[in-house]
Structure 1
Amino acid sequence: MQIGIVAQQDNPRAASLAGDIQDAVDVSVIVDETTAGALDTTGIAVEEMSQCDLVVSIGGDGTFLYAARWIGSTPIMGVNLGEVGFLNATAPENAVSTVKRAIENHESGDSTIRTLDIPRLSATGDGWTLPPALNEIAVMGSHRGPDGGLTIEVRVDGSLYTGGHADGVLVATPAGSTAYNLSEGGPLIHPGVSGMVLNEMCARDGMPPLVIDPDAVVSVRADDASSVIAVSDGRIHQEIDPPAVITVSADAPPVRIAGPEIDFFTALGKLD
């Protein structure tokens, strides 16, 4: 068995915990290149960890999203060093014992791996595709505010949902309902509910946020802006010359999560 560890950058506690896990187990453990520098060992690029049997993310939800973006179908275990932790179910004090249990189960043929019912989102346009998003895809103008935004026309499975001027539009998974979508006034969705959220951002005469079928295909026609930006999970940007049509659907492979169940309501109680 081989385990990869991705620790939050510039966080000595995360690097130290990565070292504790590495020292405590008797299987092959590799760490990301930045963490390797802190531990004075050899590391690999996160993209190469898709060949591991398990990846452990140590940090907040941002670290989890970063690791999940590159590891494909490799199971991921989130160790929570953040404040809320909707994606990280393992407490730091339980990290070593939880990883050991995963190793024991793997060696005995009994798996703790479960597949989330929450899909990841893909976004495509003319000649480009963004990496899959676990939280949301955002389509927006190059800047927000009175002199920014863009003109949008949003369709769900070909049927017109809304149109007009807005700062942008979000398509979010249930996992992403607690992130950017929530800050834009969208609803929370329990992770056990299958669906996606369609939410305009500061729209003029816009429609309320809408929960849609997870198999729906959303198309966003973007115009009337100097440039348009499609963003995957707030990190990966694709700049587009308008007019353009961006298609968003939940056809990317889901993330596989190892470890204990995520306590949604406990995490929810930490929101301010």
Structure 2
Amino acid sequence: MSLKFPRVALVGKYIDLPTDGMAESTRALMLDIGALIQEQGCEVILAERTAHALQLTQFSTLDVSGIGTECDLAVVVGGDGTMLGIGRHLARYGTPLIGINQGRLGFITDIPLDGYRDALPAMLQGDYEEDHRSLMHGKVVRDGACVFEAFAMNDVVVNRGAAASMVELRVEVNGHFVANHRADGIIVATPTGSTAYALSAGGPLLHPLVPAWALVPIAPHTLSNRPIVVADPVEIAIEIVGGRDASASFDMQSLASLHHGDRILVRRSDFRARFLHPRGWSYFDTLRAKLHWNEGGV
């Protein structure tokens, strides 16, 4: 029988770990997962930066673009930040992703660390649930020219500087004026990002199948400036009207210093991330477990 995923990339945290017990345990974990994947008849390719960080030489290596063009699947070991980082790059290639949670919350790396031996074999043989997550394409326009752009899977955030007072932001949707917000900033969140920064700022939870974004003001001066949900085919424009040291971030990874008059434009990307989950996976089960719903009561 032909393999569902002949070549499987194994991706771990991209940080350099100290040579101590943590590094050794992480190295042993990656070797064990790699061996398990090989037992299913798949070839294992290790991400170059992971191999360098953990000093692993047991597998062939590829950079991220090589993984996208040459691998059939990526198994990501880490937290949601690790998944976001690799997911943004691999979405353009349509490479499916499996997440093993080595972090804390794990909304999108949903296989628990003590459960990968049970979950992976069946998934590698094609027994899984699949869901797709939209990405955003954001850019900063200054004097009519694009000076910065990036993709985001979670959110695009415009906020004030650390030592500055609130900023004033003009928000438009498809060219229609919505409001001027005086606040610490504003978040444009995808359904994936609705469980991240937007949630802590009082935004709604969006199911991954909902084609929508949440616009969530951060500590608004006027309490009637509430979060709003808009359909994701629109273009959102956020203009810096007032305030100092404002910046824009894309999944908290890419930063851009902003000037008065700068416009941050956000639209739906042409790319979507493909997440694979164990058979029987439910988004609501994930919410219930991670947000501790129903604890202490019936």
Q: Which stretch has the larger CA shift, 192-201 or 22-31? A: 22-31
Amino acid at match of 2:136: L
Task: Identify which of 133, 140, 144 aligns with 2:159.
Answer: 140
Q: Does structure 1 residue 57 correspond to structure 2 residue 76? A: yes
- Structure 1 counterpart of 2:135: 120
Identify the residue that residue 107 of structure 2 maps to in structure 1.
Answer: 86
**Higher Cα Rg, which structure:** 2
Aligned residue runs from structure 1 range 1-272, under 5 A: 1-8=6-13, 9=15, 10=17, 12=23, 13-24=25-36, 25=38, 26-37=41-52, 38-41=54-57, 43-51=61-69, 52-72=71-91, 73-96=94-117, 98-105=119-126, 112=128, 114-116=130-132, 118-126=133-141, 127-143=146-162, 147-205=164-222, 207-260=225-278, 262-269=281-288, 270-271=290-291
Preserved contact between residue 153 and residue 163 of structure 1 (Cα < 8 Å) = yes
Which secondary structure does the structure 1 equivalent of 2:232 belong to? coil
Describe the shift of the 1:195–1:162 C-alpha distance in structure 2 as closer, same or farther (beyond 3 A): same
User: How has the CA–CA distance of structure 1 residues 263 and 221 changed in structure 2, closer, same or farther, with 3 Å as cutoff?
Assistant: same
CA displacement at 1:167 relative to structure 2: 1.3
Structure 2 counterpart of 1:21, which letter? I
Q: Work out whether residues 84 and 267 of structure 1, in 8 Å CA contact, stay in contact via their aligned partners in 2.
A: no
Q: TM-score, normalised by structure 1?
A: 0.86
Paired letter, 1:241: H
Structure 2 alignment gaps of length 5 or more: 1-5, 293-298
Instruction: Please give the alpha-carbon distance, in whole angstroms, between the structure 1 residues aligned to 2:233 and 2:42.
Output: 40
Deviations 1:25-45 (A, max 9, x none): 133212233432425316443
- Report the Cα distance in structure 1 between the residues aligned to 2:62 and 2:211, rounded to whole angstroms: 35
What is the percent sequence identity of the aligned residues?
26
Moved more, 195-204 or 84-93: 84-93
1:108 corresponding residue in structure 2:
none
1:238-267, CA deviations, whole angstroms, 9 ceiling, x for partnerless residues?
A: 223322111111234111112326533333
Distance 1:157 1:188, change over 3 A: same
How has the CA–CA distance of structure 1 residues 262 and 201 changed in structure 2, closer, same or farther, with 3 Å as cutoff?
farther
- Distance in 2 between the 1:225 and 1:262 partners? 45
Worse-matched range after superposition: 64-73 or 37-46:
37-46
> Do the aligned partners of 2:90 and 2:273 also contact (CA within 8 Å) in 1?
no
Which one-letter code corresponds to 1:271 in the other structure?
L
Q: Secondary structure at the match of 1:253?
A: strand
Give a deviation string over 1:56-102, Cα, whole Å, max 9, x none.
11111111111112223211111122332210232334424544334
* Comparing 172-181 and 64-73, the one that deviates more: 64-73
C-alpha distance in structure 2 between counterparts of 1:252 and 1:176, whole Å: 18
Query: Any gaps of 5 or more consecutive residues in structure 1?
Result: 106-110
Alignment check: 8 A CA contact 2:240 2:258 kept: no
Question: Structure 1 164/214 Cα, relative in aligned 2: closer, same or farther at 3 Å?
Answer: closer
Structure 1 residues 166-224: Cα deviation after superposition (integer angstroms, max 9, x where no partner): 21111001111110001111112222333110011112115110011121211101132
Aligned length: 264
**Pair 35,266 (structure 1): closer, same or farther in 2 beyond 3 Å:** same
Distance in 2, matches of 1:34 and 1:159, equals 44
Q: TM-score, normalised by structure 2?
A: 0.79
Structure 2 CA distance for aligned equivalents of residues 151 and 262 of structure 1 = 42
SS at match of 1:69: helix
